[in-house]
Structure 1
Amino acid sequence: MELYFLGTNAGLPTTQRNVTSVALRMLEERRSSWLFDCGEATQHQILHSPLKLSRLEKIFITHMHGDHVFGLPGLLSSRASQEGSPPLTVYGPAGLKAFLEATLNATQSRIDFGLEIVEHSGGVIFEDSQIKVEARALEHRIESYGYRMTEKDRPGSLNMELLQEWGVRPGPEYGKLKNGESITVNGRLITSDQVLGAPKRGRIVTILGDTRPTPGIHPLADGADVLVHEATFTDEFADLAHKYYHSTAVQAAEAAKKAGVGELILTHFSSRYKDQDQLRPLLQEARSVFPNTQLAIEHQTFPIRPSAQEREKE
């Protein structure tokens, strides 16, 4: 499980950065990727990435501002041109369905894969045996949401030394033991509890849309291994951030500290910050409050690791 940033700029693209989009890659877990927001030119960014449209399973839209949705019709049309594309579900706030239907119909775009559009107002919006997705409203100029992805607990590690000692070879038997079943090898009954370690806590990833500081962030971010939070401005522009319903790097760090997250990744930077050198003050300000902070960098992978506390338990 890892994050891959396709766009990190706020409002407008620049020659250095594209507008907002980030992928959650779960190739080992689900053999698919999920996309969060789809600003203009996201599909071009995907062409320069290891991501594949055919493996895109779900798209989550935080809010309906153009820098978060203008790339969606083009991406869907391009995906439709690839034969055999599997079904895709797009989640987002009210207005998403009308926007997509109008643009796809007006351009006579043929979407011949199964496309489901789900408008929501928060709560649990998806859950299966592997993962649960919750949404909660934030505070922005229009309806804006954050998403919390909670991976279900995974089976513990097999005791390989003991399995080898008892003559269990790699293969289907390993899978049965992982699933809690018992097997018989050389006349010996082997139960899963004999060879399986304690379950591993599922990882938690929180990705927020545009927002001012608001109490709604805490339930989404509480105990998350990774929090992706907008940081449009440095602290000197706190008044401007408040006026336009955005956050500063310090405010993002304060939210991360309060929620006890493992790692904070800042994104959605104002175009006034032209390059990495000009973004460094945002990182420094955030780290003064929450040391384990990173800047989102386009076309860079950020692995989702369990927080330090969880690693100690394991």
Structure 2
Amino acid sequence: MAIRFRVLGGAGRDNALHVEVDSGHVVRRMLFDCGEGCLSALAPSDVQAIDHLFFSHFHMDHVAGFDGFFRMNFARDGENNRIWGPPGTARIMHHRFRSYLWNLHENLGATWRVSDIGEVAVKTWRYELPDAFETAHEEAATVREGALILDEEDFTVEAMTLDHLTASIAYKVTEKTRWNIDPQRLAALGLKPGPWLKSLKDPVALPDDAVVEGRTAGELRAELLVATPGGSIAYLTDFLLDEAAVEKLVPWLKNCGHVICESQYRAADLELARKHYHMTSAQVATLARDAGVGELVLTHVSSRYLPGERAELLEEARAIFPTARFSEEWR
């Protein structure tokens, strides 16, 4: 399994994040925010393969590229037409769906589901292309278990609500622990590889008390399976990083592999950051250091800064978190 990611959009412009979770047998793709021009970095086939679109919030610079996304995907069949965001997302998306003229849609069968992420529950509405997206079909709400909002076979997605004078959602994608066979232990037990090893990884398919190769499956699991923790990536943007936010974020981000985070302002512009409910390079780097994250990638830098000033902003972060960086494509 592997997590691959790409920051979309240029320095001082709208940004977004494209994430792929590759399990080895299937690749799941996610897009976080959809600013103007961000999708131009992806091939049309990559845009059409996005399984989930997650919005942090609906300020223009985070949603202005949605028309391009929807144009390529509006008639897509299957279960992968999923949009997530803060409370009000379904209402806003319904307006977007209905803002086009639909008169050639009768034989198209696409279904879209849009979820509002609340503090205690996720509410979802279904929209159908055959009826020109006219009706919002409310589905049963799902009570949240902690930060979790999505539990897939190979990964989970968690969400945390932060304050940008509106709800702004931070997201974290985590690969599930994978179980591998230790070949040396297998040989030491005098056992030969075979299809039974695949079943051994699945306690549902093969209960612990089932007998395999002369021993119980539970015993063999204890002897042969080695746990490998999955990777993780978090996307944070546009919120006030005050003491309350730090208190929530540090344990949530603890040991996260990659953190992709807004750094709108330089350290000297802290008051501007506070006024507009954004963050500075020093604040972001301190958060990464205190959470012990693996990598920090700074995005969503203000257009007020010239290239030389952006370089200084990065150095401010590196003074606190030495491996902080921009996207490679910003060079």
TM-score (normalised: structure 1)? 0.79
2:281 matches 1:249? yes
Counterpart residue number, 2:300:
268
Please list, as runs of the form range in 1=range in 2, the aligned pairs for 1:19-38 lying within 5 A after superposition.
19-28=14-23, 30-38=26-34
Instruction: Note if 1:193 corresponds to 2:222.
Output: yes
Confirm whether residue 177 of structure 1 aligns to residue 200 of structure 2: yes
Q: What is the CA deviation profile of residues 105-157 of structure 1, one whole-angstrom value per residue up to 9, with x for unaligned ones?
A: 121366843310001124432224433322222221322121123333221x3
Question: What SS does the aligned partner of 1:293 have?
Answer: coil
Alignment partners' CA distance in 1, 2:10 and 2:292: 24
Query: When the two structures are aligned, how many residues end up with a matched partner?
Result: 285
**Alignment CA distance shift 1:131-1:27 (3 Å):** closer
SS at match of 2:92: helix
Q: Secondary structure at the match of 2:181?
A: coil
Deviations 1:176-204 (A, max 9, x none): 2333557856x78882333222x122333
* Structure 1: gaps of 5 or more residues: 14-18, 301-314
* 1:62-77 to 2 correspondences below 5 Å: 62-77=56-71
Q: Percent identity?
A: 26
Give the secondary-structure state (helix, strand or coil) at the position aligned to 1:294.
Answer: coil
Aligned position for 2:319 = 288
| CA-CA distance at 1:69 after TM superposition | 1.0
Deviation, structure 1 residue 256: 1.0
Contact 2:23–2:154 under 8 Å retained in 1: no
With CA pairs under 8 Å and 6+ residues apart, which has the higher RCO, 1 or 2? 1
Instruction: Give the conservation status (yes or no) of the 8 Å contact 2:18–2:30.
Output: yes
Gap change, CA 1:104 and 1:189, over 3 Å in 2: closer
Amino acid at match of 1:266: L
- Native 8 Å contact 1:6 1:299 kept in 2: no
What's the TM-score once normalised by structure 2's chain length?
0.75
**Correspondence for 2:265:** 233
Partner of 2:35: 39
SS in 1 for 2:58: coil
Do the aligned partners of residues 195 and 278 (structure 1) sit closer, same or farther apart at CA in structure 2, a change above 3 Å counting?
same
Letter in 1 for 2:312: P
In 1, Cα distance between equivalents of 2:109 and 2:59: 27
- 1:126-137 mapped onto 2 (5 Å cutoff): 126-137=150-161
Conservation of the 8 A alpha-carbon contact between 2:39 and 2:69: yes
Structure 2 unaligned runs (5+)?
120-146
